Amino acid sequence: MNPESAGVELAEPHLRGLLASAGLDVAYARAEGNVLYRQDDDGRETPVIDFAGGYGSLILGHNHPEIVARAKELLDGQAPIHAQFSAHPYATRLAAELNRIIHRETGTEEPYYATFANTGAEAIEAAVKHAELDRVLRQTELLAEIEAAAKEAEAAVREGTAAVPDAVHARLGVERPAAGEDPLAPLLAELDRRNALVSSRPPVFLALEGGFHGKLMGSVQLTHNEGYRAPFASLGVHARFVPRGRPDALKEVLEESRASLLQLGVEGGEIRLVERAHPVFGAFLLEPIQGEGGIQPLTPEDARHIQEFADASGCPLVIDEIQSGMGRTGALLSSSQLGLRGDYYALAKSLGGGIAKASVMLVREARYRAQFELVHSSTFAKDAFSCHIGLKVLELLEADNGRAYQQATERGAALEAALERVRAAFPDVVEEVRGRGLMLGFEFRDQSGASNEVIGGAARGGLFGYVIAGHLLNGHAIRTFPTASAVNTLRFEPSVLLGDDEIERLETALTDVCVILREGASDRLVLG
């Protein structure tokens, strides 16, 4: 038992119990770079190599000295951390710097406006809210145009400059009124009825199968994992999930979702019915590399099909770079490496440098609605501390011609080569190594049919990845976890400081795991 576990546990005791069952409920006393120091019962500190990397928030490692120095400087200098409703020059600078890098990486010049928030899920919810505000405003503008067109049609009929052909009544299934009565009145009533029906439909939000976008009331409905989503289905926005790698499915979505609003027009002295495309789509959310879904990268073809769908449908793309971004794959935006362009970007995790809680939603100018600033805010968002830390993180990523991005690519390649060596030696145990840069996944073959009771039982209970993580921690002083929704896949998301010796230690540890699995030797698992 850890020193802190004495007494009644009231902070998520059930979760702690689950962690304990795989020997994962250890306490850490200190952290530096890629290393966490585990505190044992006797007060001793044992170094543990951290491959979980705060699940992606530690691209520069734990307590990076320059980030810590900046934090101290801010606090010692009595920086006003909370000064809501004032000029925020640090937030302006951070937004400008993000734009500068995004423009460089995507080859565009269009500004992206920034809404700051605190967590990843919050940035996603801000994007979803903004997209819906934009859609509702576009719909309102469209309905106003339709109303103005109806007035023009009425005036033309009244003045005798336009006639109403029978075909228009027939098309809408309404009787033509008797001579002398207003020929437009029943048409307009039917038009209003149909338009009201279409415009009151809920928006279509799309997300990829396997995707993860947070666990708040709105964002959890865009997260594919049913366990997280289903109990709260009646609370939030509804998503339609589309498979990766199936462009036909996207075409189907486009066909099935298409809807139009009807407008009257005057052409060649006649009243005509004009169809206007109704803005049905709220947004399409996607991760360039699915993190919690098992480190599943989009292929450049997937990206092309998604971009084509967005262009054809007008559906805004919300690119969730919360886990994949901030340098992890060798660029600020890993989507830029796929040629994917977002209408929105969400960044979080490493934006806070491992010490601040910060996230940002960015929306491109063509979609941007200034009103959003008056209806969305948070007490803690855009605070001086997190903005200054975010600026420091960007400075460190960009320093020496982007050395940190290069390190992520190079260290990632070295790590991937080690994982691949283990896979090649144990093809019967390891299914696949996936990912890019310092966002790698190592998938084991399904062990639910294993003859060893402990291994097979853990797999059948969905705990296989956690048992392996427990052994890596207790047997090899290596910290990692399975991804949240694909528990046979271990994630490797260390910092750019990852050393060759650490990679070597991991290779030895994974080799040991594979031998245990191959031999069904659960007695050799060290879980506490």
Residue whose CB is nearest to ligand PMP in the complex, by number:
120
Nearer to ligand PMP, 287 or 502 (CB): 287
Which is it for strands 430-436 and 359-364: parallel, antiparallel or unpaired?
A: unpaired
Q: Which stretch binds ligand PMP (CB under 6 A): 120-128, 202-210, 236-244, 429-437?
A: 120-128
Of 228-247, binders to ligand PMP (CB under 6 A) are none
Of 334-363, binders to ligand PMP (CB under 6 A) are 348
Tokens of 300: 């450049």
Q: Contact between 55 and ligand PMP (CB under 6 A)?
A: yes
Interface with ligand PMP (CB under 6 A), residue from 34, 115, 119, 336: 119
Of 283-302, binders to ligand PMP (CB under 6 A) are 287, 291-292
Interface with ligand PMP (CB under 6 A), residue from 212, 309, 344, 442: 212
Q: Least distance (Å) from ligand PMP to the CB of residue 523? A: 34
Between the two ends of the chain, the Cα-to-Cα distance in Å is 10
Q: Contact between 214 and ligand PMP (CB under 6 A)?
A: yes
Q: Contact between 224 and ligand PMP (CB under 6 A)?
A: no
Contact between 386 and 394 (Cβ < 8 Å): no
Task: Report d(CA 147, CA 165) in Å as an integer.
Answer: 20
Q: Least distance (Å) from ligand PMP to the CB of residue 492? A: 15
Q: Contact between 323 and ligand PMP (CB under 6 A)?
A: yes
Interface with ligand PMP (CB under 6 A), residue from 94, 242, 283, 322: 322
Task: Report d(CA 398, CA 25) in Å as an integer.
Answer: 37
Q: Contact between 483 and ligand PMP (CB under 6 A)?
A: no
Number of residues that bind ligand PMP (CB under 6 A): 15
Nearer to ligand PMP, 214 or 297 (CB): 214
Nearer to ligand PMP, 280 or 348 (CB): 348
Q: Report the SS3 class of residue 225.
A: coil
Secondary structure, 3-state, 389-444: HHHHHHHHHHHHHHHHHHHHHHHHHHHHHHHHHHHHHCCCCEEEEEEECCEEEEEE
Task: Report d(CA 397, CA 392) in Å as an integer.
Answer: 9
Tokens of 248: 């036909």
Q: Contact between 318 and ligand PMP (CB under 6 A)?
A: no
Task: Report d(CA 242, CA 309) in Å as an integer.
Answer: 12
- Cβ neighbors of 286 (< 8 A, separation 6 or more) are 207, 208, 211, 298, 306, 317, 318, 319, 320
Give the residue carrying structure tokens 């819906």.
Answer: 132
Nearer to ligand PMP, 55 or 241 (CB): 55
Q: Contact between 213 and ligand PMP (CB under 6 A)?
A: yes
Q: Which stretch binds ligand PMP (CB under 6 A): 2-10, 42-50, 137-145, 320-328?
A: 320-328
Give Cα 475 distance to the centre of its chain.
33
User: Which positions lie near ligand PMP, rule CB under 6 A?
Assistant: 55, 119-121, 124, 212-214, 287, 291-292, 320, 322-323, 348
